[in-house]
A and B are shown apart, each in its own frame.
Chain A
Amino acid sequence: MTTASALAVRAPFDRTLLLVVPAAAFMLMLFVYPFLYGLALSFDPKEGGALGNYHHFFTTDNLWPTIWTTLKLAMPATLINVGLALPIAYKMRVKSRYQRWVTTILVVPITLGTVLIAEGMLTYFGPKGWLSQFLQFFHLYEGPIRLTHNYWGVLISLVISGFPFAFLLILSYITGIDPVLARAASTLGADPKSQFRHIYLPLLAPGLAMCFCLAFVQAFSVFPSAVLLGSPAGPTRVISIAAYEAAFEQYDYSLASAIAMIMGFVQLIIVAAVLSLRNLFYRGPVSGGKG
């Protein structure tokens, strides 16, 4: 009797759940297994104890500073991308004649690969590039212009390739906010500035945090542009370059795995910090009532 009623209460197995199986298998094979393999490998160094690689990383002068080098690129790039995308997306939230064109132009770089962007930048921003020739032709700036093969080259390329993502993401958050809220605020005496500050910004805050995390993770794993546009031996020797060298120049897969783990851990700390800040804000539906 008890078992019968327990059986009757239990919901029948939903067979559509089986549709998750292929994706789960993929995740297991292509992410979870390699990740765990790398994690295990990082604790199995060529020499020393289990923590040998980590000890090596944090005591070697051309390894541990790569964390700061990378942060110094990724943080400003992320802040610029989110900071630029917010006002532009805010302006673009209302449909207008030119809205579609502006949005298209801003999003085009998404279709270009980082390598293509790097190639273009080398010709455009280089010492003999168009920008330099243009400025010198009009005598606007006579000194040498160095925007490639250094820190600035990499930063500019991170902005070019990262901005469209930030912009599209924020645009979708902004257009999800019911414009009638701002109109209600205006009837209550809020000028456009206050409408942004008191209505849009607080409702956007969780989305901005999310956008910051995604943009940051993307920028932190910079590799091609750091090599092509930076000076990979010096100021743009980012952490992924260190991992690449360990793996493919020293053939020390174990050390490379350890560097990759450290890289992931740094990203995790930043993302966790930003997402915990997100909890300070209101998170819920962004419409103003029944609708």
Chain B
Amino acid sequence: MKHDFSELRLDRVTRRFAGAGGKAFNALDELTLTIKRGEFICLLGPSGCGKSTALNCIAGLMQLSGGSIWLDDMRIDTLPPEKRGFGMVFQNYALFPHMSVARNIDFGLRMRGMSASDIAPRVARAVKLVQLAGQEHKLPGQLSGGQQQRVAIARAIVIEPPLILMDEPLSNLDAKLRIETRAEIRRIHRELGRATIYVTHDQDEALSLADRIVVMKDGVVQQIAAPPDVYSQPANLHVARFMGYRNVLPLDIEREEGERVMLSGPDFALTGVRKQPLAAGRTAGRAAVAIRPEEILMGEAPGGINTIVARVDNVEYAGRDSLLDVVTPSGTVLHVRATGMHALGDTVRVHVPVERALVYPGE
């Protein structure tokens, strides 16, 4: 397999499944994406969004129903997985239970017919990279979850694949180990300088690891962007919801001034920034505004714009701050992250900066 590749290109990759009642549905619908060498890509979405299907299609474990996959100018979607030579880390690790750690790691090299004298130094290097020295002769069953995970990673990278595929590799680890291993994966990716495609449903993981995030829903790509853009400028309401914009309020459109949109609710008015074209000519039509809980601030805004008066209805203490549910007189609920003490029933004023109230077409 070639290692000096410069890009992997997915061209309208589609995978159909027979669904309930024999009706076919697209688990993956025309995924088009170009991945450069050295890039770390996260496929992000809720379960059933097609992200694992995409990974399996790239690995060759699933046939495409349409489209093509190219490694530079070589078409690879017709090759069986063993001819593609991509390293893959599985969600449940898929370590060979009857082989020692060393045998697991050198499996790919043995399959390539490499001589024992060539294998030894490469295995030693991989073992060192994942910090498993001294564990080589144990069986996978004798290792902890975190160690098994690292064996799985070592096994995938020792063959020096052009592309490493990871399918929710951290989902079976506890919270502390997850954060440690996350940093480890990023470090290994940097040291290898190859491309990584990482599937996850956890936005924190995607934000911290990726160079680019591909947000998916129902098999369709919603947004492809760098983490800060996905975080602060979601392409649509689905992405916004998934990225933690817990407040999605349906409102009426009063007026549009360039990017700015003036909206009105039953007992408050909001001015936000348009992120998607709104239905033309329907100024009275409904729009949806998306706001993160931590971007709603306590107190009156300078000039009074975007200020809402509400009553504290619920308080969830979260240590550094609290998550409040506040209710306007007409019954609109806002989720607010706020420091300081707030008692149930208090009347508070909250406001949101205009540029952090994102306006999308209503649903």
Binding site for B on A (CB under 8 A): 178, 180-181, 183-191, 194, 198-199, 202-203, 281-282, 284-291
Contact = CB atoms under 8 A, between A and B. Distances in A.
B228 interface: no
Contacts, number: 99
B96 interface: yes
Interface string B45-84: 0000000000000011100000000000000000011101
A210 to B, nearest CB: 16
Contacts of B307: none
B96 A288 contact: yes
Contacts of A189: 82, 85, 108, 111-112, 159
B90 A184 contact: yes
A288 B92 contact: yes
Contacts of A290: 92-93, 145, 148, 172
Given A186-B81, A203-B97, A284 B107 contact: no
B96 to A, nearest CB: 6
Contact of A191 (B59, B82, B152, B156): B82
B244 interface: no
Contacts of B80: 186, 191
Interface of B: 59-61, 80-82, 84-88, 90, 92-98, 107-108, 111-112, 139-141, 145, 148, 152, 155-156, 159, 165, 172
Contacts of A183: 61, 81, 90, 94
B159 A288 contact: no
B61 A181 contact: no
A53 B141 CA distance: 52
A190 B82 contact: yes
Given A183-B61, A290-B148, A290-B172, A188 B155 contact: yes
Given A288-B94, A288-B97, A290-B148, A186 B139 contact: no
Contact of A187 (B82, B92, B112, B172): B82
A291 B92 contact: yes
Given A284-B139, A285-B141, A288-B140, A187 B88 contact: yes
A198 B61 CA distance: 19
Does more than half of chain A's interface fall in helix, strand or loop, or is it mixed? loop
Nearest to A180: B94
B92 A185 contact: no
B140 A289 contact: yes
B170 to A, nearest CB: 12
A25 B107 CA distance: 52
A199 to B, nearest CB: 6
A88 to B, nearest CB: 23
B96 A180 contact: no
A119 B199 CA distance: 61
Nearest to B87: A187
A198 B96 CA distance: 9
21 contacts: A183-B90, A184-B94, A187-B88, A187-B156, A188-B108, A188-B156, A189-B108, A189-B112, A189-B159, A284-B97, A284-B98, A284-B141, A286-B97, A288-B90, A288-B92, A288-B96, A288-B97, A288-B140, A289-B93, A289-B140, A290-B92
Nearest to B149: A289
- 7 closest pairs, A vs B, by CB? A289-B93, A282-B98, A188-B108, A189-B111, A184-B94, A288-B94, A186-B81
Nearest to A199: B96
Q: Which of A178, A202, A289, A290 gathers most chain B CB within 10 Å?
A: A289
A198 B88 CA distance: 18
B97 A287 contact: yes
Nearest to A288: B94
A187 B97 contact: no
Interface centre among B61, B82, B152, B155 (most CB of A within 10 A): B82
B95 A288 contact: yes
Contacts of B111: 185, 188-190, 194
From A181, A184, A202, A284, residue with most partner B Cβ within 10 Å = A184
A289 B148 contact: yes
Contacts of B155: 188
A186 B165 CA distance: 14
A45 to B, nearest CB: 51
